[in-house]
């Protein structure tokens, strides 16, 4: 009995060892013919039964059953020292020189653009292209739906304040910063980073502006009317409100002496517009004549003189409502415009895929048009120079386009702002950067952009 028991135990041990060995071989990927034959026979039987019973299997299972190939052995584990010795013995460690055939030259990466020593490095800013920016005393302020920020001339973040604004607009006049919602009702006035007031309008805001003294004017929707104009003083108190029952309100502006100019659309005989000016006491100061076939969509004060921008002309209007000067577009397509604090104006026109920049003085004097190499995406103007982009180049030039400074950026430029005679602020998709520009010779108009070359070692740049 004991002898039979021992034999049974020995058989169990042998079977266990065989099972372990078989499992190890299968897991290692070693091909065992009789096991492979059994697996294939089993797959064929399952396939036959399913076909006979009309059972449709999932595609992954059907592919597995159809696979009768011999499994590829898995790579074996080997200590690194032994692997190195084996490779050395087989000659794998010796590298051979590969002679490229024609058309198979080694790929090389493009040499990165050199950054000028005067440039601040790009600053990462999520969705920078969707934020609003403005020059504030040589620094840059920005606003998006959740943050109000300021950056100094070196690109350093000076401060950051939380806000809640829907589609915010940003306006700077003097020491004041206006952030207002578009399509909603909130307005906030700051002096630098100091919040002076936050208020809500009765209707949704269409457009808003402010004066150098901190008065805020807003054009809003109003039920049963064609718009409302409301004025807040810098303490947030409403000092003027006017509802239009006959004409749609296109825009409004307020001067330092609280003259409130309102652009109105007259559709009695086509699409004309005119301007009515009020005092905050509600009295009408003047009303202009109709500007035929012209829609005045923006009003800007320079002192007590008014600048009116339309789809067909730019007009200067005196404090008494008289037309001082007029610049007609002669059928040219206006694509962008800006006005400097001294009253100088930049008009960007498109012509055959390239741009033409026309600068008007505060008194309406026209400077020699500047022909751009390609159509700029963004323009900016200061008291005596303008900035614009030409592809990935940023350019600063005088009003006649004779003295030209230039710098190349390594990202697509979404917005450009002139902040100093030799310095510009550039906005990219997800970053911002202050760029220092160097002197370039004036180029004639060309059909393709001419990318700048960065200064070579030892080459001096223009001083700031």
Q: What one-character-per-residue DSSP string does 278-300 give?
A: EETTS-EEEEPPPBTT--EEEEE
Mean pLDDT (whole number) for 166-195: 97
Q: Is the pLDDT of residue 88 over 70?
A: no
Q: Is the pLDDT of residue 73 over 70?
A: no
**pLDDT computed for residue 43 by the predictor:** 65
Helix (H) or strand (E) holding 347: strand 345-351
Q: Is the pLDDT of residue 431 over 80?
A: yes
What is the Cα–Cα distance from 329 to 358, expressed in whole angstroms?
A: 10
CA atoms within 13 A on the CB side of 68: 10
222-251: b (≥16 Cβ within 10 Å) or e: beebebbbbbbbbeeeeebbbebeebbbbb
**pLDDT computed for residue 37 by the predictor:** 63
Mean pLDDT (whole number) for 129-133: 96
**pLDDT computed for residue 268 by the predictor:** 85
Average pLDDT, the chain: 82
Q: Provide the percentage of residues in the chain whose pLDDT is more than 90.
A: 64
Q: Is the pLDDT of residue 448 over 50?
A: no
User: Per residue in 280-320, pLDDT tens?
Assistant: 999 999 999 999 999 999 999 999 999 999 999 999 999 99
Mean pLDDT (whole number) for 112-138: 79
**pLDDT computed for residue 49 by the predictor:** 62
Least confident of 88-97, 119-128, 190-199, 354-363: 88-97
Mean pLDDT (whole number) for 60-76: 60
Residue 315 near residue 326, CB atoms below 8 Å: yes
Least confident of 82-86, 143-147, 244-248, 324-328: 82-86
pLDDT bracket for residue 2 (50, 70, 90):
low
Mean pLDDT (whole number) for 223-239: 97
User: Per residue in 351-366, pLDDT tens?
Assistant: 878 899 999 999 999 9
Tokens of 334: 């206006």
pLDDT bracket for residue 121 (50, 70, 90):
confident
**pLDDT computed for residue 455 by the predictor:** 41
pLDDT bracket for residue 175 (50, 70, 90):
very high
Mean pLDDT (whole number) for 188-193: 97
Please tell me what DSSP assigns to residue 459.
Answer: P
Least confident of 15-29, 52-66, 443-457: 443-457
What is the Cα–Cα distance from 344 to 179, expressed in whole angstroms?
A: 24
Mean pLDDT (whole number) for 228-252: 97
Least confident of 49-63, 100-114, 230-244, 310-324: 100-114
Q: Is the pLDDT of residue 194 over 90?
A: yes
**pLDDT computed for residue 76 by the predictor:** 47
**pLDDT computed for residue 10 by the predictor:** 61
Question: Sheet of 238-243: strands edge to edge?
Answer: 205-210, 216-220, 228-232, 238-243
**pLDDT computed for residue 32 by the predictor:** 56
User: Per residue in 365-420, pLDDT tens?
Assistant: 999 999 999 999 999 999 999 999 999 999 999 999 999 999 999 899 999 999 99
Mean pLDDT (whole number) for 62-74: 62
**pLDDT computed for residue 115 by the predictor:** 43
Least confident of 147-161, 317-331, 334-348, 428-442: 428-442
What is the Cα–Cα distance from 235 to 232, expressed in whole angstroms?
A: 8
pLDDT bracket for residue 464 (50, 70, 90):
very low
Query: Hey, how many other C-beta atoms are within 10 angstroms of the C-beta on 275?
Result: 24
Mean pLDDT (whole number) for 128-143: 95
Pick from 249, 370, 233: nearest CA to 298:
249
Length of the chain: 464
Q: Is the pLDDT of residue 197 over 60?
A: yes
Mean pLDDT (whole number) for 215-226: 97
Q: Is the pLDDT of residue 111 over 50?
A: no
């Amino acid at each position: 009995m004991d002898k039979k028991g021992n034999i049974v135990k020995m058989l169990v041990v042998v079977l266990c060892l065989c099972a372990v060995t078989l499992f190890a071989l299968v897991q290692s990927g070693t091909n065992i013919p009789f096991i492979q034959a059994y697996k294939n026979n089993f797959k064929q039987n399952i396939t036959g039964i399913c076909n006979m019973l009309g059972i449709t299997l999932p595609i992954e299972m059907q592919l597995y059953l159809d696979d009768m190939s011999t499994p590829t052995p898995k790579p074996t584990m080997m200590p690194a020292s032994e692997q190195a010795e084996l490779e050395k013995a087989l000659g794998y460690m010796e590298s051979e020189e590969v002679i490229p055939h024609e058309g198979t030259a080694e790929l090389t990466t493009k040499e990165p653009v050199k950054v000028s020593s005067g440039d601040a490095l790009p600053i990462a800013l999520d969705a920078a292209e969707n934020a609003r920016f403005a020059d504030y005393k040589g620094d840059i302020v920005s606003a998006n739906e959740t943050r109000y920020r300021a950056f100094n001339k070196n690109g350093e973040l000076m401060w950051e304040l939380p806000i809640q604004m829907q589609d915010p607009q940003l306006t700077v006049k003097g020491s004041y910063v206006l952030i207002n919602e578009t399509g909603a009702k909130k307005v906030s006035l700051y002096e630098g980073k100091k919040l002076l007031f936050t208020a809500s309008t009765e209707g949704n805001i269409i457009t808003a502006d402010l004066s150098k003294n901190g008065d805020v004017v807003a054009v809003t929707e109003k039920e049963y009317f064609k718009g409302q104009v409301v004025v807040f003083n810098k303490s947030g108190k409403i000092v003027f409100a006017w509802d239009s029952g006959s004409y749609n309100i296109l825009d409004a502006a307020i001067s330092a002496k609280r003259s409130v100019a309102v652009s109105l659309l007259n559709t009695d005989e086509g699409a004309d517009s005119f301007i009515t000016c009020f005092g905050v006491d509600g009295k009408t100061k003047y009303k202009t004549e109709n500007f035929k076939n012209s829609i005045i969509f923006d009003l800007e004060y320079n002192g007590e003189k008014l600048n009116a921008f339309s789809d067909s002309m730019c007009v200067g209007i005196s404090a008494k409502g008289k037309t001082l000067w007029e610049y007609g577009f002669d059928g040219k397509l206006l694509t962008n415009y800006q006005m400097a604090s001294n009253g100088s104006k930049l008009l960007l026109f498109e012509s055959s895929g390239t741009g033409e920049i026309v600068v008007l003085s505060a008194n309406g004097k026209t400077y020699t048009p500047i022909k751009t190499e390609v159509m700029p995406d963004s323009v900016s103007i200061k008291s005596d120079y303008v900035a614009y982009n030409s592809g990935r180049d940023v350019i600063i030039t005088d009003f006649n386009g004779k003295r030209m400074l230039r710098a190349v950026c390594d990202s697509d430029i979404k917005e450009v702002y002139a902040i100093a005679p030799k310095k510009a602020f550039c906005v990219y998709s997800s970053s911002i950067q202050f760029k220092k520009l160097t002197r370039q010779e004036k180029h004639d108009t060309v059909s393709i952009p001419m990318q700048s070359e960065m200064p070579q070692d030892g080459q001096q740049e223009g001083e700031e």
